[in-house]
Structure 1
C-alpha cells in the first residue's frame, strides 16, 4: 500500500468504514468510554447501583436469604442438622435501548465537525434519559423493572416475601404528619438493617428535597446539612441525597422517597459493548447512526431498599 497506494486486500478500520456484510461497525474504545462516563453523570441510579457487564442476552444471579443457623452444644452432645439457606434466582428483565440520531452528509464532510463528540453526546443523552427512568419506574416488559414497580408492603424483613419492598408510612395522606415530618424520616432510616446503612443514601426528586430542606428541629436548626467540602453532597440525617427526577412528586399514596444501599439492593445488567449501524441509504442526504444497547435491571436484595409511602398507614 505504501509503495503503490493499492487498497485491495487491505482491511480498513475507520469511522466511515464497515466491518461485515451487515454494514455495522463497533464503537471505538475511546467513544464507548466517553459514553459510559457521561451516563454515570446523568443517570443517578446507575452511579449508586451495582452494574455488571454480560456477554450474552441472559443473566442470572443467585441470592441467599436466611443465612446458616448455628447452635450451642456440649463437647459430647450430638450435632443435629441445621437449616440450609434458601436460594433465590435473580433474572433482571432486559430490553434493547436504542437511539437513532442523524446528521447530514454535508455536516459529516465538513472537516471542522467532530463526529466523535457529536455521536457520543447524542447517544449518551438518549440512553441516560431512557435508562434512568426505567431503573426507577420501568415495567419489566422489554425494559428493566424499576424498584418502584416492585411489590410493596408494610411487612418487616422477617415476614415479607423476598421480592417485595417494605414501605414506611409518612403518617398523612399526600403529606408528612403535622409538624413532626422528620420523625417519619427517622423511622425510614431505622427500618433499614444497620448492616446496610453504611453506604446508604436517600433518593428523591428536587421538589421533594426542596420541601424537606425546610424542615427544622425544635431549636431552629435545619435538618438538612450542607456540605462544607466542594464536590461532596449535602446530607440528610447524616446520609447523602441523590436527586432523581424520575421519582414521583409527593401525592396521596405516592412512593416519593427511597432510602437504602442501592449497591446491595439494585442490579443493572448490560452488554459490554454499544453497537452502532451506520446507515447512509435510508434517508438521503442524512446519515443515521443507529445505536443499540441491551440493558436489564431489577431489585437484587429487597432488604437493602426501603420506601416512604405518603399515606396515613
Structure 2
C-alpha cells in the first residue's frame, strides 16, 4: 500500500500535467485528443483522491466508533507519548483524570483567573459535577484547528476571538451607488446622507452533549485522555457549528452564509446548471468584491461532480484540478479560474435550492468566545456503569457582515410543469 505522501505526490504530478494541457491548448487547439487525455487524467486523480480521503478520514471514523461504544480504535490513536504535552494541556489532563482535587495550586490559581462570573455560577448549580475547568488558550486553539476538519467554511471565513460574549454590532452601509460631485467656485455642496444599519454578531452556547469514559481508560497512564476529549469535542461542536454557519436561520442560532447571502442568478423551471449560469452568477457580484483575495466558489462535493462536466464555448473543461494545495507555490482546484471551496453543508441541487455560492467568503465572520469549559460528572448515573462523565460548553456565533452583495448564490428553478 502506498503511503499518503506518495499518493499526494502522484496526484500533484497528474494535476500539474492537466494544468499544462489546458494552458497549452487554448481555443481551437483543444481537440478530441486533448479531451481524452484530460478525462483519463481526471479519472486517475479521482481514484487517488478517494484513497487519500480514506487515509485522512481514519481519525474521524475512529471518533465516530467511539461514540457508539467502540473505543479501541480511538484509544490506540491517542496513545500518550511521554513528554509530548505542554504545561497547559498537562493541567487539562490532570483535571480530566482526577477532577479539581488533582490540580496543583498553580493550576488552580490559573483556572480561577480564566473563569468568568457565568462559569462560576454554572459551577455552583451543576448537580453531580466536580466543578468546571476552563481550558487555557493554547488548548482552545488546538481545538479550533481540529474543528476546521468538520467545516470548510472555517477555512475561508474571518474568525475573531473574544474574551467575553458581550454584544457586538457592526455598522454597515450600502454605498455602491453613491458618488461625489463637481462644485463651482463658492458653490454649495449637495447633501447625500448614507443610511447605516447595525449587523449583530451574537454568540450562542453550544454543548458537546455528555461524554462517558470507563474508569479503566482514565486510569490507563498511556491513554491520552485530553486528546480523546478534544477529538470528540471537535467532531460534535465542529459539526453543528459548521451547519449553522452555512444554513442557520438566525433565530436562536447563528445566521448562516447561505441564509444571509443575496441571490445572484435564478434558473428557469427545469433548467440545469450550465456555463452561462455560472458566468452570470460570477458577474452578479460587483467587480470591487471580485478583486478581493478570498473570492471563489462554494459548493458541496455532489454538486462539484456535476459542475466538473461543464465545458466552455470551445468545449474545454472549466474545472482545473489543483496541486500541492495548502503549500507555497501550490494551487487549489479551480472553476473558471477561481478557487473552489468544498463545504458539505451546502444544499444539494434540487428545485428552489441554493447549491452554489460565489463571492468574498471573508465577509462571513465567525466569533468564538474563548471560554471552553469542561465539567467532570461523578454522579450515580455514570458511577453505576463504571464511568466518569464529561460535558463541555462553548459559545460561538456567525453572520455575513455585508450589505452590498459580497456573496451571491445560484438559485435553482421550481419544478418544471
TM-score normalised over the length of structure 2: 0.63
What displacement does 1:62 show?
Answer: 1.4
Residue 276 (structure 2) pairs with residue 168 (structure 1)? no
The equivalent of 1:241 in structure 2 is 340
Relative to total residues, which structure has the larger strand share, 1 or 2? 1
Q: 1:29 to 1:267 in 2, by over 3 A?
A: closer
TM-score normalised over the length of structure 1: 0.83
**Which residues of 2 match residues 9-88 of structure 1 at below 5 A?**
14-15=94-95, 16-18=98-100, 22=123, 23-54=131-162, 55-66=164-175, 69-80=179-190, 82-88=191-197
Runs of at least 4 residues off by over 4 Å: none
Secondary structure in structure 1 of the residue aligned to 2:249: coil
- Gaps of at least 5 residues in structure 2 are 1-89, 101-107, 113-119, 124-130
The equivalent of 2:399 in structure 1 is 298
Deviations 1:260-292 (A, max 9, x none): 10112x222221221111112242122222111
Q: Aligned equivalents of 1:30 and 1:106: distance in 2?
A: 28
Instruction: Indicate if the aligned counterparts of 2:349 and 2:355 stay in contact, CA closer than 8 A.
Output: yes
Secondary structure in structure 2 of the residue aligned to 1:296: strand
The equivalent of 1:145 in structure 2 is 255
Residue among 188, 192, 200 paired with 2:295: 200
Question: How many residues of Structure 1 are paired with residues of Structure 2 in the alignment?
Answer: 283
Secondary structure in structure 2 of the residue aligned to 1:185: helix
Instruction: Indicate if the aligned counterparts of 1:173 and 1:251 stay in contact, CA closer than 8 A.
Output: no
Deviations 1:30-67 (A, max 9, x none): 42121111122331112211222232242222112227
The equivalent of 2:382 in structure 1 is 283
Q: What's the Cα RMSD here?
A: 2.3
Deviations 1:224-253 (A, max 9, x none): 011244443210011111111111111111
Q: Aligned equivalents of 1:166 and 1:249: distance in 2?
A: 16
Relative to total residues, which structure has the larger helix share, 1 or 2? 2
Comparing both chains, which one has the higher relative contact order based on Cα–Cα distances under 8 Å and sequence gaps of 6 or more? 1
- Gaps of at least 5 residues in structure 1 are 1-11, 151-163
